[in-house]
Structure 1
Amino acid sequence: MKANVGTVDRVIRLVAGAALIAFGYMGGLASPWNAVAIGAGSVFVLTVLIKFCPLYPLLGINTCGNKG
């Protein structure tokens, strides 16, 4: 599994993921959409940590700059 998420992409994902998680928790778990927001935010943060997005190879995207 090669890295395919670059630095700028990681920063954007981290900010978006943290915002989704925060909005999900601020609304409580009364609505299923809050759980969806927390889940999506968690996926964004996970892709930041592992530097790999499973959708990118399917779409032919690589923001990391390495040739793979």
Structure 2
Amino acid sequence: MKCNIGKTDKIIRVILGACIIAVGVYYQSWWGAVGVIPLLTAAIGWCPAYVPFGISSCQTKK
């Protein structure tokens, strides 16, 4: 697994994941568990949805 998530993308995913979890807890819904997905992808630095499209937000070294 090659890193395909950059720093800004990771920050956005962490914030989004935390918000989804918070809304799920607030409304007492198990849908808040979906927030774990962006947190997990940010933690490992790899998004499987980016692979088929060849997307990468990592900076390339010159």
TM-score normalised by length of structure 2: 0.88
Taking the aligned partners of 2:2 and 2:52, their CA distance within structure 1 comes to 14
Q: Which residue in the other structure is 1:45 paired with? A: 39
CA distance in 2, matches of 1:21, 1:55: 21
Give the SS at the match of 1:5.
coil
Give the TM-score of the pair, scaled to structure 1. 0.81
Measure how far apart 1:23 and its partner are: 0.4
Identify the structure with the greater helix proportion: 1
The unaligned stretches of length 5 or more in structure 2 are none
Aligned mates of 1:19, 1:39 — CA distance in 2: 11
Q: RMSD over aligned Cα, in angstroms?
A: 1.4
1:24-63 correspondence runs (5 A): 24-28=24-28, 34-36=29-31, 38-63=32-57
Question: What is the CA distance between 1:65 and its match in structure 2?
Answer: 2.1
Identity among equivalent pairs (%)? 38
- Report the counterpart of residue 19 of structure 1 in structure 2: 19
- Where structure 1 has 5 or more consecutive residues not aligned to the other structure, the ranges are 29-33
Q: Where does residue 8 of structure 1 map in the other structure?
A: 8
Corresponding residue SS for 1:11: helix
